[in-house]
């Protein structure tokens, strides 16, 4: 199981976060526990680096008011460990993993002895739905995108079209576009005539483990398929779960995997930026991010290319909270207004001070930051 590296010095990490540079903390700083009156979020994998940075920035600007702290989907010792969400015996949780698990903490709330909620908000890669129950709302705050990655010393080409990727992950060369070689069965690199592929090896698509994987969900949705074909490696390698957005796993290690040079893997571009530029936990290993439809996912200045990248692979990010208004007029609870805003008033998350939380985590802002949706 992938484990996030612990920080040697929480104070140094906080200083680095304030400048938007350096390794991010995981969870609240060591030795700090949220008070019952503080605001606490549970984050998804794609949003956890952002939430950690936002917490440090926000707490530096509000020294006398309630603090804001974030708990990650994957902590220093991995997934599903026990976390003391707030300083109250009722607020000890098994760490929720992924957006749906984070949102569930709002649906079935626990309270402190004083009546405050243990979890106040969730950072999510998806909007709220009717399946989440009544009384929740979601505020848009950012964007991420998913691309594909492959070993830098492998047989992969630099670009694949949307149609080529669909054929590869379906293991069905009859779905290749006109101009590529079409036949039954899995796709070989040399079938990709339009991309100047040369190797006779079959392309081997890889997907991360299914439980809670946001990258997997977004990738398959972008491709327009519900499942990968039988030619790929689906979630397990040598009986070990394949974690999302991690290149330093045995499946991607030369000499461990016989198919090493032919693997391709969906990868969150924000995680790739965060790991290779900002020093975030995790490692891209030998994998390099590649183009889709001739468009690079990452700009020369190490930001997400949300302007021209194919829209089906771009994901809107949300803050989910308990709706303090109605289904027609959703409102942010008073305790969260300084952080999230209300109506025309911009909250901290949509303001200029929070910009380094976006750049440091690799995420992009969204033009309509602060727009709210609700369940019915």
pLDDT in tens, 175-198: 999 999 999 999 999 999 999 999
pLDDT exceeds cutoff 80 at 345: no
Per-residue pLDDT, 81: 84
Residue with tokens 């008073």: 334
pLDDT exceeds cutoff 70 at 44: yes
pLDDT band at 123, cuts 50/70/90? Answer: very high
Q: Convert the pLDDT of each residue in 127-157 to its tens digit.
A: 998 888 789 999 999 999 999 999 999 999 9
Q: What CA–CA distance (Å, rounded) separates 147 from 315?
A: 11
CA–CA distances in Å: residue 226 to residues 216, 223, 229 = 10, 9, 10
Residue with tokens 């707490």: 59
Sorted by where each starts, the structural domains of the chain and their CATH numbers stand as 10-143+315-374 (3.40.190.10), 145-313 (3.40.190.10)
pLDDT exceeds cutoff 80 at 48: yes
Q: What CA–CA distance (Å, rounded) separates 228 from 206?
A: 9
The average confidence (pLDDT) of the chain is 89
pLDDT exceeds cutoff 60 at 23: no
Helix, coil or strand: residue 354: helix
Per-residue pLDDT, 25: 65
Cβ neighbourhood burial of 34 (10 Å; 0-12, 13-18, 19+): buried
Q: Convert the pLDDT of each residue in 309-326 to its tens digit.
A: 999 999 999 999 999 999
Per-residue pLDDT, 77: 65
């Amino acid at each position: 199981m992938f484990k996030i590296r612990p920080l040697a010095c929480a104070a140094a990490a906080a200083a680095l976060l304030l400048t938007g540079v350096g390794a991010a903390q995981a969870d609240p700083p060591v030795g700090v526990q949220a008070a019952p009156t503080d605001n606490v979020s549970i984050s998804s994998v794609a949003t956890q680096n952002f939430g950690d940075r936002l917490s440090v920035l926000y707490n530096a600007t509000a020294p006398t008011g309630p603090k804001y702290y974030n708990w990650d989907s994957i902590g220093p010792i991995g997934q599903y460990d026990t976390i003391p969400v707030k300083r109250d015996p009722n607020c000890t949780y098994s760490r929720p993993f992924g957006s749906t698990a984070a949102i569930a903490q709002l649906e079935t709330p626990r309270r402190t002895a004083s009546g405050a909620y243990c979890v106040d908000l969730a950072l999510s890669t998806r909007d709220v739905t009717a399946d989440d129950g009544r009384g929740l709302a979601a505020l848009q705050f950012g964007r991420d995108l998913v691309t594909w990655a492959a070993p830098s010393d492998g047989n992969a080409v630099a670009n694949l079209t949307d149609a080529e990727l669909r054929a590869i992950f379906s293991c069905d060369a009859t779905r290749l576009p006109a101009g590529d070689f079409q036949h039954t069965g899995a796709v070989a690199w040399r079938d990709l005539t339009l991309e100047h592929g040369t190797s006779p090896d079959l392309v081997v698509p890889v997907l991360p483990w299914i439980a809670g994987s946001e990258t997997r969900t977004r990738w398959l949705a972008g491709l327009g398929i519900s499942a990968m074909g039988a030619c790929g490696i689906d979630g397990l390698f040598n009986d070990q779960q394949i974690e999302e957005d991690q290149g330093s796993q045995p499946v991607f290690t030369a000499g461990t995997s016989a198919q090493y040079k032919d693997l391709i893997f969906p990868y969150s571009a924000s995680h790739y930026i965060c790991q290779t530029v900002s020093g975030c936990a995790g490692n891209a290993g030998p994998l390099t991010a590649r183009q889709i439809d001739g468009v690079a996912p990452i700009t020369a200045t190490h930001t997400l290319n949300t302007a021209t990248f194919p829209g089906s692979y771009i994901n809107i990010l949300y803050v989910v909270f308990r709706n303090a208004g109605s289904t027609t007029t959703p409102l942010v609870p008073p305790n969260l207004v300084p952080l999230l805003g209300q109506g025309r008033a911009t909250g901290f998350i949509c303001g200029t001070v929070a910009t380094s939380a976006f750049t440091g985590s690799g995420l992009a802002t969204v033009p309509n930051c602060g727009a709210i949706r609700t369940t019915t």
